[in-house]
Amino acid sequence: MPYSPSLTRTIALGFIVVKTTRNPIGNSLSETVTFFHEKWEADAFAEAQNAKLSTYQRLEILYTVQEAPAKPERHYQKAPAPKPVLRRRLTPAQQKKFVQQAGKCMNCGMTDITVLEVHHIKLFAKGGSNQPENLSVLCPTCHKKAQNGQIVPLSFASYTRQIVQSVPVKAEPVDVTHAQLGDRVYNPLIQELASWSDPLQASPSEWKRLQLAERRLVLKVPEKITGLRNEADDLFDKRGKLRTMLHEYVDDTTKSVLVTLGIVNSEDLGSFEFRLMGQPGSYNPLYVSWIWESAKNFKDYVWDIKSKYPQRTQWRLETWVNPPNGGGRLVGRDRETETAINRVLRFLMSQQFAQELLTVNKRIQELGPQIISLIDEELKKG
């Protein structure tokens, strides 16, 4: 009969020989002499003990056999199974925090934080954690390469350690020389300024690092350089706000264009992606906002990408959509894709904020060589 694990059962374990002693006033005292598993063994032992006693002693002492008291049979409850550890994916706020702290793609250095993505080095679905040691911040192109095993990105923790290790801890002498300014401020600053020729790569992160890590040296930089540098910081802040407006406008307008052209039904449109596919084995996402910021027309932008690959590569354009219920599908090829992108670009031409973004990017491109020229003058003095 089945029983609950918490139920206690009793089982008789054997027989005991009890010695009972009576005192003159009629009280008796019992004590267990020995224990046997079989009754005949206990009877034989008690009889032998009684045979050793005299008649008088038998009146005072008596050996008797009794069934051993039942003892509980212990049943241990099973320990409850450990509750599964609840694993949660990164929230949008947590992802945004990692992206802002990184400030650029940890593989190629692309600085448009509005499109950067958080990548799990060991996939979350395969047990990867959300710790900085397992996370990296990548642009969509590098993210795709990492997922396909083409690159092994730097982890966020390693990236942070590199920044910390780059901060000098050695005490500086009192006098600041031109050599120190050149090695520790001007040289890394020139490397950053050289990237300003490309709007998608331009970043102010190195100057911000120098202001923290080399504060005393930065204070010795002439005002004519810091003045232009501060102007650039204001432009980068403005560019960030304009980029947010650009991405929102492009997203809404592209969806409207895809529906208007009959490429996809509005109820089937969740998200979309334009692709430049090359055979064999190349994949390049086409972002309308990147094409706009490059200040090139669509054909020139695509040609620049194609020129980086072997001439024998065969190319095609594709438009993909992801319906709200999931499952991406191909909805347009060369003609449809080119038509949709060019139409969105024409809409952007009439938007003041989009034109203003191009103006800001152009000014940043102009400031780079100007600041480098001023730095060269300072280096010649040393």
Mind listing the pLDDT tens digit for each residue in 191-217? 889 889 888 888 888 888 888 888 888
Comparing 122-136, 147-161, 169-183, the range with the smallest average pLDDT is: 169-183
> Which pLDDT tens digit goes with each residue over 295-351?
889 999 999 999 988 888 899 999 999 887 777 889 999 999 999 999 999 999 999
> Which pLDDT tens digit goes with each residue over 265-302?
888 888 889 999 988 777 889 999 999 999 889 999 99
pTM over 0.85: no
Please tell me which residue, 349 or 48, carries the higher pLDDT value. 349
Tell me how many domains the chain contains: 3
Quick check: 347 and 195 in contact, CB under 8 A? no
In a domain, 278, yes or no: yes
In a domain, 320, yes or no: yes
Which of these three, 20, 45, 73, is where a domain ends?
73
Q: Both 27 and 132 in a single domain? A: no
CA 93/CA 43 separation, integer angstroms: 83
pLDDT tier at 83, thresholds 50, 70, 90: low
For residue 4, pLDDT beyond 50: no
CA 290/CA 247 separation, integer angstroms: 10
pLDDT of residue 134: 86
Which of these three, 166, 200, 231, is where a domain ends?
166
For residue 172, pLDDT beyond 60: no
Which of these three, 148, 166, 184, is where a domain ends?
166
Q: Both 247 and 348 in a single domain? A: yes
Q: Return the CA Rg of the chain.
A: 42
* Number of alpha carbons in the 13 Å side-chain half-sphere of residue 161: 7
Q: Both 313 and 250 in a single domain? A: yes
Which CATH number belongs to the domain containing residue 104 in this structure?
A: 1.10.30
> Which pLDDT tens digit goes with each residue over 335-356?
999 999 999 999 999 999 999 9
Place of tokens 């008690």: 46
In a domain, 297, yes or no: yes
Residue numbers of the domain that contains 66: 9-73
Q: Both 66 and 115 in a single domain? A: no
pLDDT of residue 152: 82
Quick check: 205 and 188 in contact, CB under 8 A? no
In a domain, 79, yes or no: no
Q: Both 260 and 352 in a single domain? A: yes
Cα 227 to Cα 120, 232, 359, 372, 382: the distances in Å are 41, 9, 20, 13, 21
pLDDT tier at 171, thresholds 50, 70, 90: very low
Sheet holding 15-22, edge to edge: 28-36, 15-22, 61-67
Q: Both 253 and 352 in a single domain? A: yes
Q: Both 54 and 94 in a single domain? A: no
Which 3 state secondary structure label does DSSP give 96? helix
